[in-house]
Structure formats: structure tokens, C-alpha cells
Amino acid sequence: MRPELLAEIEREIERLHRRYGALLRESPEAREVCARWAAEVLGLRWFVPLADVVESDIDVEITREVLVVRASRTWPDPAVLLGILPVPRGFDSEHPVIRFRRETLEVRLHRVRRVATR
């Protein structure tokens, strides 16, 4: 990907994270997990660390601009984990590919194909 496109994606992610940061304040008992992202040829992939979480205790709320990951952990210390995954313009939030493995939730967002108009 071109460096200017990566910079644009990063700015959009930061803007959306600030905008939806209020979700953390609404749940004072929740701990934010520091998700990281990687740009790929066909999309964007989020990596959400969820150590000591069982897959059945993970919920992903899907909205147009952000995916919200909530997970309950009972061991070693009980906690509600919250991850905010911004969806920059140009990516499909309606059809994420979600996979949990090795204590990491992977969320892949595909690029939206632009349809040429005449």
C-alpha cells in the first residue's frame, strides 16, 4: 500500500477511536485492550489480545464505523475487556471475518470495491 494511503487509514482510525472512546467511560469496570492493526492488499486486519478468555465469552458488536469487542475473563483475575476497532472509510464493516485462536481475536475487514459510475 502507498505510504499516503496508510497515513490516511491511520488518521481515520485515530479519529474514530477518539470519537468512540466514550464507550470506555460508559463501562468504568471495563479494561481497554490495545488492539493493533495491519493493512493488507485486500483489506485491514485487527488483532485483539484476549489472554485467558474463552471463545464463548466474546461478543462483537458491529456498527458502520466501529466494531466493539467485549470479553469476560474469569481467571486469573475477573475482568471485562473492551476493544474498540474503528472501521475507516473504504472498508466493509457489515461482513467482517472473525476468528479466535491462540488468545487473539482476528478481525479482517475487506476493502469496499468502488463501482464505476458514468
Structural domain spans, the chain: 3-110
Q: What is the tens place of the pLDDT at every residue in 66-85?
A: 999 999 998 888 999 999 99
Select from 3.40.50.2020, 3.20.20.80, 2.160.10.10, 2.60.40.790 the CATH code of 3-110.
2.60.40.790
* pLDDT band, residue 116 (cuts 50/70/90): low
For residues 56, 58, 62, 67, the Cα torsion angle rounded to the nearest 10 degrees is: -160
Report which DSSP code applies to 63: -
pTM for the predicted model, two decimal places: 0.90
- What SS3 class is residue 7? helix
Q: What is the tens place of the pLDDT at every residue in 25-57?
A: 898 889 999 999 999 999 999 999 999 999 999
